[in-house]
Amino acid sequence: MTSMALLALIARTPQAEELPHVVEPVIVWVAVAYFVIVTIIGAWATRRTRTAGDFFVAGRGIGLAALSLSVMSATLSGFAFIGGPGLVYALGIGAMFIVLPAALTNAMGAWVLAKRLRLLAEVRRTITLPDAIGARYRSRLAQGLSGASILVAVVGYMATNILALGLVIDAVFGIGLGWGIWLGMGVTMAYAVGGGIVAGIYTDVFQGALMAFASVLVFVFTLKAGGGLGGLSTTILSGDPGFLGPWGHLTPIAALSFFFVFGMGSLGQPHVVHKFFMLRDPLKLRWYPLITTFALIVTMLLYFGVGVAVKSLTLEGAMAPLVNPDDATPLFLLGYTPLILAALVFSGVAAAIMSTVNSFMNIGAAAMMHDIPVSLGRTVENELLWGRICTVVISVAAALLAQHSGMLVAFLGVFGWGLFASTLVPALAIGLNWEGATRAGAVASIGTGLAVTLVFETLAFFDLYGFPVGVTVSGLSLVLSILVFFGVSWLTRDTAGSTLDPDIRVIMRA
């Protein structure tokens, strides 16, 4: 392919709805400064990355603050800053059920997974979650299936996030969506390939701090714009009382389904859970839920505040009703906050997306280079080199998918969370805490999660079949995979003891 043809391919504008352009010198310079800082951190991390252990689990050498902030950053993708406030604007309180379990999920993850995964990393040198599943059940099949599930979901998730990053970069620099996608992916890939997860963790620390700081400031401006929370509520109640009903504009089952999927499903999010392998001192886990939960709640203030404030402003007539709910954050920032804060938030949005994408690049590369070959009875000689190569392959594939797959990219993004949850929660989270779980139960639950999610999301995407209101594919696949896990483990209970190695039993009883 000639270079001109390649440029034309890159610059082609895909189908996504653009964000309002915010090309202002202050915003552009803050964004440039942000990219420079991230690049410097990436260069520093590259010098520190000398082994596959460094590349995939940061040499098990990160501290508590790095773990907490990086988990917070990776949890919140750009959705928390752009899509989330838009969803609150459209659905009201119902959209809050996505983030409502946040006060519980970090402590739940700490009790259920953190200690055991950290000890497993030490005793077995596990570097991936499928590795941990393989060790728990002495099963290459379970390891390979979970690795394949992660790889499928990672590429889809990355594609949606890279598309969102392209939209943000285009809005800030005005360079077109195609170039935005490749610039954002290029910067992220540069530090992910060089510095692996070390770069990811320390850019996450910077990015997490930026996100939390910007979110608090924006929340103050949302209260100011609406005359305090009471003023916002009074305005909304007079124009759209259902918005501030307990379920917003959702049905109770739909809202509760969000709570279930994003609460229990948090135990199966590899970009978050994988970080438990990396903590230097397991005793520091003591403060992890408190710090991470606090940081998460603070950073979610923007999610709630902007959605509610924009709703109130549109009902007052101060803003025109939004055609695209995703415009809520950009329009509020440009109209109601100082330009420097808008600049920080736009960089914060890019930060949130890049931190999530970086984690996925690393996890996807590990699944491709490590888990799938291991499941086939093969091992890769130079894991560091192949880890870097796989990172490039996955990143380019995801960027091409983001740019050229049309509506498919939205489809891939939709099932990411549900696929992670239904394939990993029973086999990993419950399985590491229940000695009665069997290899057959784990394989059956992973297969159920994979099949139910792919089949029903595909049918729904092509309008061939849709569930009744309130029933989500992710919720149904999660509950089915849990029931299959228990059911098959019970049917094959005689084999439970034989699938458990003595050192794993020690860790499970720890």
Partner 1 sequence: MKAPGSDRDAKRWALGAIVGAALAIGLAYLAAFLPGGSPTWAAWLFMAGTSVMMVATMALGAARNGSIGRLWIPFGLVLVILIGGFGLVLALPPADPADPTLWLGLPPRAAVVLYGIGFLPFFLVPVAYAWTFSELTLGPGDLDRIREEALRAGRGPVGGERAPAAPAGKASDGERER
Given candidates 253, 298, 334, 454, which one binds partner 1 under the rule CB under 8 A? Answer: 253
Sequence-distant (6+) residues with CB within 8 A of 432 are 112, 113, 116, 117, 132, 136, 508
Q: How far is the CB of 256 from partner 1 (least distance, A)?
A: 5
Which residue matches tokens 């902030």?
69
Task: Between 134 and 348, name the residue whose CB sits nearer to partner 1.
Answer: 134
- Asked if 267 is part of the footprint of partner 1 (rule: CB under 8 A), the reply reads yes
Task: Between 446 and 482, name the residue whose CB sits nearer to partner 1.
Answer: 482
Nearest to 387 by CA among 365, 416, 367, 361: 365
Given candidates 174, 186, 252, 406, which one binds partner 1 under the rule CB under 8 A? Answer: 252
Buried b or exposed e, range 378-415, using 16+ CB within 10 angstroms = eebeebbebbbebbeebbeebbbbbbebeeebbbbbbb
Q: How far is the CB of 157 from partner 1 (least distance, A)?
A: 24
Binding residues for partner 1, total number by CB under 8 A: 102
- Asked if 186 is part of the footprint of partner 1 (rule: CB under 8 A), the reply reads no
Provide the CB-side half-sphere exposure for 281 (13 A, CA): 7
Contacts with partner 1, 85-104, as mask; x by CB under 8 A = --------x--x--xxxxxx
Q: Which span (116-124, 153-161, 408-416, 455-463) binds partner 1, by CB under 8 A?
A: 116-124
Sequence-distant (6+) residues with CB within 8 A of 397 are 155
Contacts with partner 1, 21-40, as mask; x by CB under 8 A = --------------------
- Asked if 378 is part of the footprint of partner 1 (rule: CB under 8 A), the reply reads no
Distances (CA, A) of 272 to 53, 75, 109, 129, 345: 18, 6, 9, 11, 23
In a 10 Å sphere around its CB, with 0-12 CB exposed, 13-18 middle and 19+ buried, how is residue 13 labelled? middle
- Asked if 294 is part of the footprint of partner 1 (rule: CB under 8 A), the reply reads yes
Contacts with partner 1, 473-492, as mask; x by CB under 8 A = --xx--xx-xx--x------
- Asked if 50 is part of the footprint of partner 1 (rule: CB under 8 A), the reply reads yes
Q: Which of residues 411-430 bind partner 1 (CB under 8 A)?
A: 429-430
Q: How far is the CB of 101 from partner 1 (least distance, A)?
A: 7
Q: How far is the CB of 38 from partner 1 (least distance, A)?
A: 25
Residues constituting the chain: 510
Q: How far is the CB of 404 from partner 1 (least distance, A)?
A: 36
254 C-beta neighbours (distance < 10 Å), count = 19
| C-beta separation of 375 from 443 below 8 A | no
Provide the CB-side half-sphere exposure for 324 (13 A, CA): 12
- Asked if 465 is part of the footprint of partner 1 (rule: CB under 8 A), the reply reads no
Nearest to 190 by CA among 322, 358, 311: 358
**Cα(10)–Cα(291) distance, integer angstroms:** 41
Q: How far is the CB of 479 from partner 1 (least distance, A)?
A: 5
Q: Which span (13-21, 244-252, 324-332, 355-363) binds partner 1, by CB under 8 A?
A: 244-252
Q: Which SS3 state, helix, strand or coil, does residue 301 take?
A: helix
Task: Between 12 and 47, name the residue whose CB sits nearer to partner 1.
Answer: 47
